[in-house]
């Protein structure tokens, strides 16, 4: 019997989680994986396309090429290119002595509009970093620590029960005290469960998360409007007529009224426009999916931790509206599952609990570890009615 008790003590000692003190949880993820992807793509793609536009401008020189008259010198032709690029206005004859003008400024503003778009898409990230991350990090540190501590307390409780059973000469007294402790809820540690219940009535994190994704959708819609209204208007125009008869040249007869110019950077302009539309069209369903995740609970994570004492009360509250801070915290607990050492142990115990033949006697990790340690999770039948044994 002593050998069996020694083996049970070793098994329970191995089941204890190591105490993590000092610098811990440095790799805590404070952004969900899909949110991180949305951040990198929505901010990084405009910067990448901006670098492409600048690289084309620096490599090929002038973004336009004007067909100057043959009697113009090289310096005069260069002046025509520079003047037409500065004005970037298309002149079109709309009748006798009527000149219709159309500005082509989106070509000139292309790199700067991409930079503005990247800064705009980074604003929701800054909102999350300053409005939600400080509170979220403290919540996760406390909850992860308490979940692991609750598991350790359950294991130490079984160790204590095993020692009491060894020292107790009368099994009736031991099982009476054990049942009394369960009725008085001595095995339950309600601090964490009550803290999570309070988070279910809080809405600051979920409001910030909703605002972040709503801003992303709003800025994406504004990008569509900008591209559709300004870029589409000049998307197919490769050539334009430029007028340089201004200022001192307005009375020069040898200077033609209009000079035809070709936009050599039109291909880059089209690539940037189409790429922006494609990228943000792909991001919209991802952002909407992030929002829909707040409409359902992570039941698997909760079911695993329901093996902890008093944690089963959470399943009753889970039937309420999931749009609250608790649901956001559960999403981030799932993202930081590697920091939850107790999760792997409890997952194994859940699988074993489902396969055991005594399902009706096992509710918590205390019951299961009690069974593994060699003790019955409930009072044995031969101790329930001792009078029947004396008078068969």
Is residue 58 domain-resident? no
Q: Over the stretch 92-110, which tens digit does the pLDDT of each residue have?
A: 766 556 667 777 888 888 8
Local confidence band at 384 (pLDDT 50, 70, 90 cut-offs) = low
CB 209 within 8 A of CB 128: yes
Residue 87 lies in a domain: no
pLDDT band at residue 219, thresholds of 50, 70 and 90?
very high
Summarised one tens digit per residue, pLDDT across range 225-242 is 999 888 888 888 888 888
Q: Can you give the pLDDT at residue 284?
A: 95
The two beta strands, 64-66 and 259-263, are antiparallel
pTM of the predicted model as reported, rounded to 2 decimal places: 0.80
| Residue 383 maps to a domain | no
Residue 97 lies in a domain: no
Instruction: Give the model's confidence band at 302: pLDDT under 50 very low, under 70 low, under 90 confident, else very high.
Output: confident
Task: Count up the domains in the chain and report the number.
Answer: 1
- C-alpha distances in Å from residue 67, one per residue of 80, 91, 260: 9, 15, 6
Q: Would residue 347 count as lying in a domain?
A: yes
Q: Is the residue at 296 inside a domain?
A: yes
**Contacts of the segment 159-168: beta carbons below 8 A, 24+ positions apart:** 159/9, 159/12, 159/13, 161/370, 161/373, 161/375, 162/5, 162/8, 162/9, 162/12, 162/373, 162/374, 162/375, 165/375, 166/5
Q: What is the pLDDT of residue 161?
A: 67
Query: Taking Cα atoms as reference points, which of 305, 331, 369 lies closest to residue 34?
Result: 331
User: Does 127 have pLDDT greater than 60?
Assistant: yes
Closest CA to 159 of 20, 5, 303: 5
**386/47: higher pLDDT:** 47
- Give the structural domain span for 117: 3-33+107-237+277-373
60-74, 97-111, 239-253, range with the lowest pLDDT: 239-253
Is the residue at 306 inside a domain?
yes
Query: Which tokens in the block code for residue 130?
Result: 């300053």
Tell me the per-residue pLDDT of 268-283, one tens digit each, with 9 for 90 and over.
889 999 999 999 999 9
Greater confidence, 178 or 147?
A: 147
202 within domain boundaries: yes
Q: Residue 225: its pLDDT value, please?
A: 94
């Amino acid at each position: 019997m002593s050998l069996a008790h020694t083996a049970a003590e070793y098994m329970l000692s191995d089941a204890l989680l190591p105490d993590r003190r000092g610098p811990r949880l440095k790799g805590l993820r404070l952004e969900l994986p899909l949110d991180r992807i949305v951040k990198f793509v929505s901010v990084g793609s405009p910067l990448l396309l901006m670098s492409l536009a600048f690289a084309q401008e620096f490599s090929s020189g002038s973004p336009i090429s004007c067909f100057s008259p043959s009697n113009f010198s090289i310096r005069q032709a260069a002046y025509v290119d520079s003047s037409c690029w500065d004005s970037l206005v298309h002149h079109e004859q709309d009748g006798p002595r009527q000149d219709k003008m159309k500005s082509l400024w989106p070509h000139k503003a292309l790199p700067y509009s991409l930079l503005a778009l990247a800064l705009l898409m980074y604003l929701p990230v800054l909102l999350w970093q300053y409005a939600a991350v400080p509170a979220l990090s403290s919540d996760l540190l406390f909850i992860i620590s308490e979940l692991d501590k609750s598991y350790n307390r359950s294991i130490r409780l079984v160790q204590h029960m095993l020692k009491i059973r060894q020292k107790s000469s009368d099994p009736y007294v031991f099982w009476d005290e054990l049942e009394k402790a369960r009725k008085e809820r001595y095995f339950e540690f309600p601090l964490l469960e009550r803290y999570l219940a309070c988070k279910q009535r809080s809405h600051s994190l979920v409001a910030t998360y909703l605002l972040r994704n709503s801003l992303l959708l709003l800025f994406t819609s504004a990008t569509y409007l900008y591209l559709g209204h300004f870029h589409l208007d000049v998307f197919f125009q490769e050539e334009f007529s430029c007028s340089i008869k201004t200022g001192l040249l307005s009375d020069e007869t040898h200077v033609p009224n209009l000079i035809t110019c070709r936009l050599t950077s039109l291909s880059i302009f089209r690539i940037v426009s189409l790429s922006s539309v494609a990228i943000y069209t792909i991001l919209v369903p991802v952002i909407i999916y992030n929002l829909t995740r707040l409409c359902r609970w992570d039941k698997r994570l909760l079911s695993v931790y329901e093996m902890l004492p008093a944690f089963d009360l959470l399943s009753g509250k889970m039937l309420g509206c999931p749009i609250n801070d608790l649901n956001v915290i559960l999403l981030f607990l799932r993202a930081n599952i590697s920091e939850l050492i107790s999760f792997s142990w409890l997952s194994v115990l859940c699988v074993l609990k489902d396969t055991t033949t005594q399902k009706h006697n096992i509710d918590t990790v205390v019951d299961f570890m009690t069974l593994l340690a060699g003790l019955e999770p409930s009072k044995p039948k031969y101790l329930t009615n001792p009078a029947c044994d004396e008078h068969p």
